[in-house]
Chains A and B, each alone.
Chain A
Amino acid sequence: MGAPAGPPPAIELRGIDKRFGAVHANHAIDLVVRRGHIHGIVGENGAGKSTLMAILHGFYQADAGTILVNGDEARIRDSRDAIRLGIEMVHQHFMLVERFTVLENVMLGAEGGALLARGAARARAELRRLGAQYGLGVDPDALVEDLPVGAQQRVEILKALYRGAEVLILDEPTGVLTPQEADDLFRVLRALRDQGRTVLLITHKLREIMAITDRVSVMRTGQMVAHRDTATTTPAELGELMIGRRLAAPAPLPPMPRGPVLLEARGLSVRDPAGVERVKDADLVLRGGEILGIAGVAGNGQGELLEALTGIRRPVAGEIRFAGETVFPGPGFDAAGLRRRGLGHVPEDRLRSGLLRQDSAAASAILGYQNDPRWRRGGLLSPAAMAAHAAGLMRDFDVRPPEPALRSALFSGGNQQKLILGREIERDPKVLLVGQPTRGVDIGGINAIHQRLLAHRAAGRAVLVVSVEIEEILALSDRILVMCDGRIMGELTAAEANERELGLMMAGVTPDEAA
């Protein structure tokens, strides 16, 4: 590095290398993180970002390479070493004991003596001070399990600060947050930077990188491919670096004539197995030639709504009409019956209900349509016909590797999703319901999947997309419904929707209140 003067960087990695068996997760990584910066690390899923940070935090050990902290070579064998060096991490899945109070969680590992009482008084005072300084107010005596996710994340940050974090690593911190909560988080991060602390932000969301970082490093397939000052780069350039080629610019949806109503729900109410009402009095109408997006923070009833509309779960009240006919209440309301009428479904949790993980891709490619005569020979399934069918799907939908005999679990998330989408679209369903179309899918795959959904719309079919990614909803939808706590908070057209308004509705604020 050609900068001899000035203070040494807070963190410097040289030639960090890590393998997990055959997977080369980190390939001779170099990284310089300057003190008092917010440094972003972007990359697709599986690019090796989290592994690199876990090495820095001592959760994993690098196979080779050196770590320098403030210019001195550091040996980080476990989290204790990292903490001693002032390196703290907020994990994607919180490291909080849910049945402990906030105070107990903050003290864990930094109790300040064999008895808790003295340390507790100090921690309490320190929490109050940190809360006031950074806007991280949390009741120290609240149980963590009673706190909303945003507050739990604040506890994680407080925990790190209480231990004297000089370098704070955040791994995909906004995945579980509403846009407002994310804005609050960014305010906190900026305040930390202004105090001279260093923040490392791992994310795959370019919007966040552009909004908050000073400098950004891009990883692709285990390698560090570029470092940029945020001010001198663009989302397009970063996206290109992440996937190694240029991204298609998001185009406005081409206009389509209003088709007939193909799916309609009135006053729908759905309970989960525990008897909790997860969908409350929901109405929706879906026409041919449109994509209806359902936005919401995960777990606000979208999953149960999808299950009811696809016939997997019986609603407790309401009516569902499919292509003009009432299917619920009525006899034979089930998933198989609706499929026969022309409903396709890409489930939210593809590993659990979308494919046969331990079986071949060819088997997954006929799942739900196993009785189709195309691959039945005298009451038995024909392996040859199944393989030929899967090979055709893989060709048409660019599933890689195109190996029908390969176990479904061995494909990447994006390729699994393309296989499932191919299976459903191939039958040209009148109505296609898609849950989290691109969860865990990398950017290349996202584009391909979005194009497929838009093509289905262009063919005059109806598509319903449930997604927790607002950008995705905005990119795909003609109309948008927002769900919060089982209710549909309101409807927006794509033209009038913006992320702020959507975020407020996702948090349960109705459009009138928001105005």
Chain B
Amino acid sequence: MTEALDILLPVLGATLRLATPLLLAALAGLFSERAGIVDVGLEGKMLVGAFAAAATAAVTGDVLPGVLAAVAASCLLGMVHAYGCITLRGSQVVSGMAINIIASGLTATLALAWFGMGGQTPALPAAARFLPLDLPGADALADVPVLGRIYASLIGGQTMLVYLALLLVPVSAFVLARTRFGLRLRAAGEHPAAVDTAGVSVARLRYAGVLIASVLCGIAGAYVATAQGAGFQRDMIAGRGYIALAAMILGGWRPGRILLTCLLFGLLDAVAIRLQGAVLPGIGAFPVQAIQALPYLLTVVLLAGFMGRAIPPRASGQPYVKER
């Protein structure tokens, strides 16, 4: 029993930690796409968020200004995307890709210019990072078999942002399904002319969707640089933005299913890390890449229609133009 827990608890804990940035970014994509704006720029916004968080935290020695800077930087980039896609009615995919490319180049250049450490920021001290929280009573419960350890190191022992991300799942579901804002946002992504003729501004709703997405991407980036890691490294998001996009699609643009998908992807990642260097009898080194490719494979399989249908918001990706 204890041996099983010795293996299981670290893997599950890692699953939560690895799923968190995916979950934040996937929820970001959810708000944007539900409003009708396709967001392939999650990756880029996370990257500028990570850089801004690490740089600010390194300078101020405090993590909270870092998070605020991350959100601000991500929003700035998000508003460029929104202006291009909503006001100028440009191509959303092209704009998103441009954001990813800008973010990759800009962060590396600024890091080099400001810190001169080969495109990194200085390693952050503990005060400038998110640290695992100890839940109250963890010590008292430490002697309770099994549950005590689960409470201390799985339910507890996570950083604040992990709890925030988990909390955002029901919050997002509630906002989308039960509020006036959610109803209008979803309508803007399904049939914007219906929103317009109901006397509500499509553009404002879509800006709001992109803004929420940018805030969440900023937090996700801050998490990668100041909770998961301890500083910024070049291109450190490493495709998480795209995986999050896959999780959003696989999750059918619904918060609950997105959580499950992100946990699945997190688990795959955790297992892959755990098996790194493991030797399989007869095969040799375990092919970790096979597991890391699974999220993409699953998404392709889903999009090809093998696992039920993935139905995106009907008007997502289309600029709203009054017909004539």
Contacts and interface: CB of A to CB of B under 8 A. Distances in A.
B162 to A, nearest CB: 28
B180 A115 contact: yes
Interface stretch (B8-16, B195-203, B214-222, B231-239): B195-203
Interface in B182-204: 183-184, 186-187, 190-191, 193-200
A59 B197 contact: yes
B194 to A, nearest CB: 4
Interface residues of B, number: 21
B197 A115 contact: no
A79 B181 CA distance: 19
Interface in A85-119: 89, 91, 95-100, 104-105, 107-111, 113-117, 119
A100 B179 contact: no
A97 B190 contact: yes
B183 A107 contact: yes
Given A79-B199, A95-B194, A95-B197, 10 more contacts: A80-B200, A84-B199, A97-B187, A97-B191, A100-B190, A105-B194, A108-B187, A108-B194, A116-B179, A117-B178
A57 interface: yes
Nearest to B323: A93
Interface string B229-255: 000000000000000000000000000
Interface in A63-95: 78-84, 89, 91, 95
Contacts of B193: 95
Nearest to B200: A109
A419 B184 CA distance: 46
B180 A114 contact: yes
A83 B180 contact: no
B191 A111 contact: no
B197 A91 contact: yes
Contacts of A82: 199
B198 A110 contact: yes
Given A96-B194, A100-B187, A108-B187, A80 B180 contact: no
A114 B181 contact: yes
Closest 5 CB pairs of A and B: A109-B198, A80-B199, A111-B180, A95-B194, A79-B199
Secondary structure dominating the interface of B = helix
Contacts of B200: 80, 108-109
A89 B193 CA distance: 13
A25 to B, nearest CB: 9
Nearest to A83: B199
A89 B324 CA distance: 17
Given A111-B180, A115-B179, A95 B199 contact: no
Contacts of B179: 114-116
20 contacts: A60-B322, A79-B196, A79-B197, A80-B200, A82-B199, A96-B191, A96-B194, A97-B186, A97-B190, A99-B190, A100-B190, A107-B183, A108-B183, A109-B195, A110-B198, A113-B180, A115-B180, A116-B178, A116-B179, A117-B178
B196 to A, nearest CB: 6
A445 to B, nearest CB: 23
Contacts of B257: none
Interface of B: 178-181, 183-184, 186-187, 190-191, 193-200, 314, 322, 324
Contacts of A96: 191, 194
A100 B195 CA distance: 13
Nearest to B315: A97
Nearest to B196: A79
B179 to A, nearest CB: 6
A84 B322 CA distance: 21
B12 to A, nearest CB: 36
Contacts of A84: 199
A52 B114 CA distance: 60
A111 B181 CA distance: 10
Contacts of B195: 108-109
A158 to B, nearest CB: 13
A57 B197 contact: yes
A214 B128 CA distance: 77
A99 B191 CA distance: 10
A57 to B, nearest CB: 7
Nearest to A95: B194
Contacts of A105: 194
Contacts of B199: 78-84, 109
A197 B184 CA distance: 28
Contacts of B324: 20
A108 B190 contact: no
Contacts of A78: 196, 199
A475 B322 CA distance: 38
Interface string A258-272: 000000000000000
B233 to A, nearest CB: 42
B187 A115 contact: no
A238 B314 CA distance: 42
B183 to A, nearest CB: 6
A178 B36 CA distance: 34
Given A79-B196, A80-B199, A98-B191, A59 B180 contact: no
A107 B194 CA distance: 12
A109 B201 CA distance: 10
A330 to B, nearest CB: 36
Nearest to B180: A111
A107 B314 CA distance: 20
Contacts of A108: 183-184, 187, 194-195, 198, 200
A45 to B, nearest CB: 15
Contacts of A97: 186-187, 190-191, 194
